[in-house]
Amino acid sequence: MSKFMVAGFVQMETIIKVEALPVPYKQFESIPDLVNSGIGGAGFNEAMALKWLGNEVDFMSMVARNMSRRQIEAYLKTFDVNLKTDYVLPMLDGMPTSVILYCKGKKQTFEDVKDIRHVEYDYDLLESRIQDKDMILMSNCNFCRPIIGLAKKYQKPIAVNVRSMRSEKIANKEDFLAAADILYISDDDLESDHYDCIKECREKYNPEIVIMGIGDKGVILYTKEDNSVIEYRPVKTNEIVNTIGAGNALFSSFMHYYVKTKNAKEAIKNALLFASYKIGFVGTSNGFMTEEQIEQWKKLIWL
């Protein structure tokens, strides 16, 4: 069992299945299984996945002052996951919320993060929890910034989910990119060629590993250890229901196996299996496989 600190968003999310994007106007629709509501957010999803895979996880985040931890704990109980909420602090004026419309692999997201960009997390709490961790997973949000210095102070490796590499967004995340030992990038809004982007990251930020999600084509994995850049095709375990949250699932499961084995190439194969199963479910924080299930699927596909 590895010890992780995960820092990032937790938010209320509503996922709506639509007939087309953009959405054609209709005054009213009443359809079974049209709307799915729950708790999500990149940090929460990654913490859930890591806990599901048997790790010890400290999840550092913030919620609205009027939101009780019991609401999150009640949600966790529906999945029988014992993720501690001790470090989810009620410090925000409002609860971060997203609405996601999806249709046949496409999505449109509306997000309101409230005041989380301007509220600082408890520094002393971060410092007290980071010291015994094997790996730090974090999003590039403002309240996570102090972790960069703490990780350096206590010599802890950092994995960062930066998602977008659009030029106008990079300036606000340069410190995260430079500090990361492992980077996860999505190609959802990538402006350059996939391999050019990885090359630029390698030359400018010198990470140990870059994982780039390339949608239904799979992933590209760069490893500094052997200077390799390899594309891995996706695998199929479930019928695709909804791909929202697949990147969080892939990133966190990769980190689970990488910390455990230090073998990036085997870890990415396991992560592809984990993510392929997850996309058979609607919510972003459910649909996870156990290690035993992953081993069973590996024998079917690769052995």
Residue 70 pLDDT: 75
What parts of the chain have a pLDDT lower than 50?
none
* SS3 letters across the chain: CCEEEEECCCEEEEEEECCCCCCCCCCCCCCCCCEEEEEECHHHHHHHHHHHCCCEEEEEEEEECCCCHHHHHHHHHCCCCCCCCCCEEEEECCCCEEEEEEECCEEEEEEECCCCCCCCCCHHHHHHHHCCCCEEEEECCHHHHHHHHHHHHCCCCEEEEEECCCHHHHHHHHHHHHHCCEEEEECCCCCCCHHHHHHHHHHHHCCCEEEEECHHHCEEEEECCCCEEEEECCCCCCCCCCCCCHHHHHHHHHHHHHHHHCCHHHHHHHHHHHHHHHCCCCCCCCCCCCHHHHHHHHHHHCC
Residue 9 pLDDT: 92
Residue 167 pLDDT: 75
Q: Model-level pTM?
A: 0.92
Residue 96 pLDDT: 95
Residue 13 pLDDT: 92
Residue 303 pLDDT: 58
Residue 286 pLDDT: 67
pLDDT, tens digit, 9 for 90 and up, residues 33-87: 889 888 899 999 999 999 999 999 999 999 999 887 777 877 777 666 778 889 9
Residue 144 pLDDT: 97
